[in-house]
Amino acid sequence: MVDRSPFVVVANRLPVDEVTTDTPGGRVTGSGDSARRWRRSPGGLVTALHPVLVERHGTWIGWSGSPGPAPEPFELDGINLRPVPLSEEDLERYYEGQSNATIWPLYHDNVEPPVFRRRWREAYRVVNRRYAEAAAEVAAEGATVWVQDYQLQLVPAMLRELRPDLKIGFFLHIPFPPIELFMQLPQRAEVLRGLLGADLVGFQQRLAAQNFIRLARHLLGTPYHGNVIEYEGRQVKADAFPISIDVGEMQRLADNPLVRERAVQIRAELGDPKTVILGVDRLDYTKGIEHRLKAYRELLAAGRLSVPESVMVQVATPSRERVEHYQALRIKVEREVGRINGDFGRVGVPAVHYLHQSYSRSELAALYCAADVMMVTPLRDGMNLVAKEYVAARLEHGGALVLSEFAGAAGELRQAFLCNPHDLDAVKDALMRAVTVDEHEARRRMSVMQRHLRRHDVARWASDFLTELGAIP
């Protein structure tokens, strides 16, 4: 008999990584040949939920990261982990297909055309049921279950059917599209009913919550008052909970002497330019990486910026590499980087340092500390944590953030240099304003944003959501 938990988190992935080398540390599960070593993966969500999970003897349900049979449930750092198996075929159809080639582009304003496949839809259903059944099995009577993100939108309704006694919350980390776009989804009513299985549906922004409420009325004729939808004799609340970062962690990193030294070294390695312009993104077509590269190229071509006085560093972390759109994006970005370096670089002095690699948290912090200007230019983004991390890392209060109006973060970081990434001239102007802003003004803007973040970190996000869920009768 499995131990039942009063608090359960359900997410596509478990918050752990398997340690495959002989690296010391990590918790060993099983014995002999079946021994496997695990380590908590870094990330805001797990940091925020860790204390709640430990205090409430919580369980986290998710995929372990390796295809095939799931490891036995185990405990790590006080959290119970319940792995859900995903086969190679599940990954191809449910994860890469329905989640990342259908729902992801559709929910991000169709910035790439979504691909619709019947067999992906079916796999999404089957896998969602598997997660719902795992949650139904581990949740104690009357437990609170918090389901995360677009890969698991059917889970709330499936779980409610299995366990009507539970209190169910759902949080969507990505945008929720307007009715006209959502209506393209072949599975639209099923997805909507899936979400309406929750008691509380959380979004990054108010607009997304409104889209959801209007959609329910449009598609199912559900009445609503304020942000409460009447559905099948129950009330479903839809509200905005803008996610944040572990501000303390980033500030500690940025304050660490080794990180500071590394930041100085990075600038030296870049040739001690006057202006270091930085981008850090998963290599994803929603992030507007090409748009910012083009803006930089045009500024160099016009002589408004020049190399080596200014230099751009673009970290593009490998992501979803088996999905076609991502392969095409990589080719486009790398062609643009090649073009800029070909036109404006010199031997030993590239104009763009392009890094298609993953880095440690401390190396990221060092990059944030080293950068005079951070460019965050998504075409659409639920929130964008990189923007918040840069602000948190700027202990000296200097530096400037160029931020797309289409990132959720733009709703809070109003002192950034905001721009419409579709308007190349607007991106160029914002970048030039950021490059030339005087130090006093830069500090003023940064300190206002830091103050906001200190009051709105990820722990507050989690507690706001859980408090509101707890208050629902």
**DSSP string spanning 414-446?**
TTSEEE-TT-HHHHHHHHHHHHH--HHHHHHHH
Tell me which residue of 54, 51, 25 sits closest to 39, measured CA to CA: 25
The interface with ligand GDG within residues 388-427 (CB under 6 A) comprises: 389
Q: Report which residue type is found at 421.
A: P
* 173 flagged as catalytic: yes
381 touches ligand GDG by CB under 6 A:
yes
373 touches ligand GDG by CB under 6 A:
no
Q: Pick the stretch among 7-15, 139-147, 193-201, 385-393 that binds ligand GDG (CB under 6 A).
A: 385-393
Q: How far apart are the first and last CA of the chain?
A: 30
Which helix H or strand E contains 257, and what residues bound it? helix 257-269
Query: Out of 173, 356, 397, 422, which one is annotated catalytic?
Result: 173
Alpha carbon dihedral 195, 284, 182, 85, in 10-degree steps, equals -40
385 touches ligand GDG by CB under 6 A:
yes
Tell me how far apart the alpha carbons of residues 346 and 430 are, in angstroms, rounded to a whole number.
27
Q: Minimum CB separation from ligand GDG for residue 385, in Å? A: 3
In the complex with ligand GDG, which residue's Cβ is closer, 235 or 317? 317
How many residues contact ligand GDG, by CB under 6 A? 19
Tell me how far apart the alpha carbons of residues 205 and 209 are, in angstroms, rounded to a whole number.
7
282 touches ligand GDG by CB under 6 A:
yes
Query: Out of 372, 381, 456, 457, which one is annotated catalytic?
Result: 381
> Please, which residues have CB within 8 angstroms of residue 334's CB and are 6 or more apart in sequence?
354, 356
132 touches ligand GDG by CB under 6 A:
no
14 touches ligand GDG by CB under 6 A:
no
Q: Pick the stretch among 2-10, 109-117, 382-390, 437-445 that binds ligand GDG (CB under 6 A).
A: 382-390
Q: Minimum CB separation from ligand GDG for residue 170, in Å? A: 13
Alpha carbon dihedral 430, 432, 435, 440, in 10-degree steps, equals -70
Q: Pick the stretch among 54-62, 320-328, 354-362, 431-439 that binds ligand GDG (CB under 6 A).
A: 354-362
364 touches ligand GDG by CB under 6 A:
yes
Say whether 222 sits in a helix, a strand or coil: coil
User: How many CB atoms are closer than 10 A to CB 23?
Assistant: 9
374 touches ligand GDG by CB under 6 A:
no
Q: Pick the stretch among 153-161, 176-184, 353-361, 437-445 that binds ligand GDG (CB under 6 A).
A: 353-361
In the complex with ligand GDG, which residue's Cβ is closer, 290 or 381? 381
157 touches ligand GDG by CB under 6 A:
no
Which helix H or strand E contains 455, and what residues bound it? helix 439-455
247 touches ligand GDG by CB under 6 A:
no
Pairing of strands 36-40, 27-29: antiparallel
Alpha carbon dihedral 349, 355, 361, 364, in 10-degree steps, equals 40
**Given candidates 202, 382, 399, 421, which one binds ligand GDG under the rule CB under 6 A?**
382
39 touches ligand GDG by CB under 6 A:
no
Whether 383 and 174 have beta carbons less than 8 Å apart is answered as no
Residue 133 CA to its chain's centroid (Å): 26
Say whether 451 sits in a helix, a strand or coil: helix
The interface with ligand GDG within residues 168-207 (CB under 6 A) comprises: 173-174
Q: Minimum CB separation from ligand GDG for residue 438, in Å? A: 29
Q: Minimum CB separation from ligand GDG for residue 282, in Å? A: 5
Say whether 107 sits in a helix, a strand or coil: helix
213 touches ligand GDG by CB under 6 A:
no
**Given candidates 337, 367, 386, 442, which one binds ligand GDG under the rule CB under 6 A?**
386
The interface with ligand GDG within residues 316-335 (CB under 6 A) comprises: 317
In the complex with ligand GDG, which residue's Cβ is closer, 372 or 389? 389
In the complex with ligand GDG, which residue's Cβ is closer, 197 or 242? 242
353 touches ligand GDG by CB under 6 A:
no
Alpha-helix residue ranges (DSSP H) falling in 324-438: 324-344, 361-370, 385-393, 424-436
* 57 flagged as catalytic: no
359 touches ligand GDG by CB under 6 A:
yes
The angle subtended at Cα 28 by Cα 22 and Cα 34, nearest 5°, is 90
Tell me how far apart the alpha carbons of residues 16 and 5 are, in angstroms, rounded to a whole number.
19
Q: Pick the stretch among 62-70, 182-190, 324-332, 375-383 that binds ligand GDG (CB under 6 A).
A: 375-383
27 touches ligand GDG by CB under 6 A:
no
Q: Known catalytic residues?
A: 173, 381
Q: Which residues make up the interface to ligand GDG (CB under 6 A)?
A: 42, 173-174, 243, 280, 282, 317, 358-361, 364, 381-386, 389
